[in-house]
Each structure stands twice: as C-alpha cells, then as structure tokens.
Amino acid sequence: MKDIIKTRKKTLAILFGAVILFAFSCLYSTHPRPVETEDRDAGLFRIWAHSDIQPVNESEFFHYETAVLDVAQNLPGLNAAIVAGDIVYAKKDADRYYRWFLETRKNAGIPYWFEIAGNHEARDLGAYLRAIGKPLHYAVSMGNMLIILMSDEKRTPQTEISQATFLWWRDLVTRNQDKIILTVSHAAPAKSGLPASMFPTMRLASSKRFEEVMKRYYVDLWISGHNHIASSISPKFSRPVAFPRTLFVEVASIHLTALSGIESYVLEFQEGSRECRVLTRDHQSRRFVASRSVNHTLRTGFRRGTGEPLILFPSGEKKAYFLTAVKG
C-alpha cells in the first residue's frame, strides 16, 4: 500500500510539474520561426544530439534501440553525435549498461561520438571514464566549429561544474570568437529561458559566471538535456532577451515515459552559410516535427574543413582523434 501511495504521489508531482512548465512556456518562451524539414541537402554537415537514455532495466533497452534503428534506416550520413549526459540510470551494473550503449550506438553508422557525464553518471564517474574513454571535459574543433563539452562533476540533481573548468571554458570562448561555438552541459544555465531552468534542481549550478561571459561574447548554441518532459509540452528552444545571440537547445530525452516520447535533435550546418537548422526528431513516428524545429543565425558562416575532429584538452594537449573512443 505504501508503494502505491508513493507512486501516486510521484505521478501527481510529475503532472503538476508538466502543468507549470506548460504555463511558463506560454508566458515566457521565445517563438522562433518553424522550418521546413523535407528539403534537406545531402551535402549538409549534420550532428545527432540526444541525451537521457538511462534504461532502468533491460526492458527499456528498446527506447534507445528504436532511436538508433530510425537513424540507421532513415537518416544516413550523419557526421557526428553528441550525447549530453545520463547514458545510464544507476551505479549498479553500470559497466554492463555502458557496454550495451557502446554496442548499440555502432548500429547508427555515425563516425564520431562526443559524450559528457550527467548527474546519473556522477554517481560513479570512475565507471563512466573507464567505459567511455574520454575525459570529463574536452573540446572538439572541426573546421571553424568549436564544441566545448563539460561533464557533471558531483552527484547532485544540479549540474555541478568546477571553477577550474569554468575558467577553461571562458578562455576557449574568449579566444575563439572567430569560430562557431557550441557548449554542451547536462543542464542549462538558470537564465537560458528554457522552462525547466526555472527549477533549481534542473539548472546549471552557479550559472551566473557563465551568463556574465555570454553577455559579452558569442556562444552560438548551448546544448543540454536533463528535462524529460516532451517537446509537445515543454518547449526545447529558447533565445532569451538576455542572450539573443545564443540558441539554447534541450535535447532530452530518449527515455520513454508517460510524459515524454523517444525524441532527439539533428543540427544542420551548410557550408558557407550562417543559417543553422535544429530539427526535432520523433523516433516513434520516424519523422521530423516541423512545428518544433527552428532556424538560428550563427555568428559566421560554417566552414567544414576536413571534417576530422581535433580534440583539445584542458591541459592544453591536442590529439587528432581518440582512435577507439571517438570513432563509433
């Protein structure tokens, strides 16, 4: 009986949260113009961005497997993938779930993978580092695009990023204003304008330091996850008045619940163009949702270069690629 009451309370809390998010989005969300999704150019540079896979048990493997199968069959030629945290659910048997993730992702046919740890990985960062084979924080340079990836560092609901990591991020942002800059963290800054960020547990801790930098310098896109509410209920895009040059994109979640479908996002960049398109993908219906996809104007036109990633570490070390960890 206690379990039933606890479950009912949890369900009511989730429903209440969804109503609050919907009301907040109606009042404060931005409304970027929707884009057509049927005129995609095969020559585009495309990144598959997703997060919050976290199967509770093997019966939930099909959530991610559904998404990967859709990508493999209907979205060939994707150039890279970003996973914005929460690959696994619990510390127990984490190694086995990481192995399942790594094997499953191979079926997508995507050559380069860039992950971060979310709050669920932070329960055992040692297991995450062993399995994924990348540091908690690193940056990826491809052509004139710089992707800065910062993992959650502590086991709390908020995304906790150390001051040392912030200073590394700030240095990269300020020194690379000639590039297209993408930042990836598990939760978004407090003033991102995303509905979920109004809740303290759903935002980046001590985010004012990041926000102060963004007032002065370009950050073209900020990719985050953490909020599982579906895009039909809680808007996943925001260009807040405080940061009109930045498009915040919440790419969660793959994990299927009563309030969320199996969703992800495709970022499209065209050679020489300042226009970026972010497309919402519904993997259950195997289609893009045009009304929940947006255009964003970048600081400068995209240049692909060789398309090969150069990995930059906080220590200053550089590598052409992780032979086993980056390539899928």
Residue 73: inside a domain, yes or no? yes
Residue 251: inside a domain, yes or no? yes
Angle at 309 between CA 162 and CA 48, to 5 degrees: 80
> Which of 169-173, 212-216, 224-228 shows the lowest per-residue confidence on average (mean pLDDT)?
224-228
Residue 325: inside a domain, yes or no? no
pLDDT single digits (tens) 81-94: 999 999 999 999 99
Residue 327: inside a domain, yes or no? no
By residue range, what is the domain housing residue 285?
2-319
Instruction: Report the alpha-carbon distance of residue 95 to residue 72 in Å, rounded.
Output: 25
Element (H, E) at 28: helix 2-28
Which pTM value belongs to this model?
0.87
Instruction: Report the alpha-carbon distance of residue 31 to residue 239 in Å, rounded.
Output: 9
Model pLDDT, residue 6: 39
Supply the CATH number for residue 150's domain.
3.60.21.10
Residue 30: inside a domain, yes or no? yes
Q: Give yes or no for residue 208 having a pLDDT over 70.
A: yes
Cα atoms found within 13 Å of the Cα of residue 293, Cβ hemisphere only: 21
Residue length of the chain: 328
- Of 242, 252, 161, 243, nearest in space to 207 by CA: 161
Residue 328: inside a domain, yes or no? no
Cα atoms found within 13 Å of the Cα of residue 248, Cβ hemisphere only: 32
Find out whether 189 and 222 touch, Cβ atoms under 8 Å: yes
Look at the chain and report how many structural domains it folds into.
1
DSSP secondary structure of 163-217: HHHHHHHHHHHHH-TTSEEEEE-SSB-TTS--GGGGSGGGBBTTTHHHHHHHHHS
pLDDT single digits (tens) 138-159: 999 999 999 999 999 998 888 9
Determine what percent of the chain is predicted with pLDDT higher than 90.
72
Angle at 109 between CA 323 and CA 280, to 5 degrees: 115
Residue 81 has φ and ψ, to the nearest 5°, of -135, 140
Residue 138: inside a domain, yes or no? yes
Q: Give yes or no for residue 307 having a pLDDT over 60.
A: yes
Residue 142: inside a domain, yes or no? yes
